[in-house]
């Protein structure tokens, strides 16, 4: 009886005075801005075309990776453009981003003269990405199903 009483007292004490787990507030991580994400491309502007266009393409993907919830196998143009074609997005911006992706691929994999200087391509990219930077700032993200999720 003494042992059972001791066990019961210990259990009551443990249940009553058990520490509750600390709840840490979620830290809001701000997405880097367009200019910050395009810095590597800015630095590669004086390099050869293949390096510049590969860097620019990587910067664009990094932008969309940080503004949309895209991971792993979702990092492809088909899924990206499905997200971009959501209501409220301007078709001319979507077409412009597609054109930049195509220009990057042409610059990376061909020796053709693309007819546009790299500074102009970079500026055009900034304009198009700023549309999404403003639209999907830190308060709005898109989940894997193309729906908005609130993060604030």
What is the per-residue pLDDT across 113-135, written as a single tens digit (0 to 9) for each?
777 788 999 999 999 888 877 76
Question: What pLDDT is recorded for position 125?
Answer: 92
Q: What is the pLDDT of residue 31?
A: 66
> How far is the C-alpha of 120 from the C-alpha of 116, rounded, in Å?
7
**Cα 52 off chain centre by:** 21
Residues in the chain: 152
Q: Which helix (DSSP H) or strand (DSSP E) does residue 84 occupy?
A: helix 77-84
pTM equals 0.68
In whole angstroms, give the CA distance from residue 81 to residue 103: 16
pLDDT one-digit tens code per residue, 42-99: 999 988 889 999 999 999 998 888 877 677 777 788 888 888 887 777 788 889 999 9
């Amino acid at each position: 009886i003494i042992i059972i009483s001791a066990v019961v007292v210990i259990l009551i004490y443990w249940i009553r005075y058990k520490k509750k787990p600390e709840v840490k507030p979620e830290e809001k991580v701000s997405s880097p801005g367009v200019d910050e994400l395009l810095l590597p491309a800015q630095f590669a502007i004086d390099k050869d075309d293949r390096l510049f266009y590969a860097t620019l393409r990587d910067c664009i993907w990094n932008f969309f990776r940080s503004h949309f919830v895209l991971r792993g196998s979702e990092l492809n143009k088909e899924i990206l453009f499905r997200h971009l074609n959501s209501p409220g997005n301007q078709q001319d911006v979507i077409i412009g981003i597609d054109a930049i992706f195509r220009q990057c691929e042409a610059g990376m994999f061909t020796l053709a003269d693309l007819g546009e200087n790299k500074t102009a391509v970079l500026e055009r990219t900034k304009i198009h990405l700023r549309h999404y930077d403003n639209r999907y700032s830190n308060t709005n993200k898109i989940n894997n199903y193309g729906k908005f999720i609130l993060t604030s």
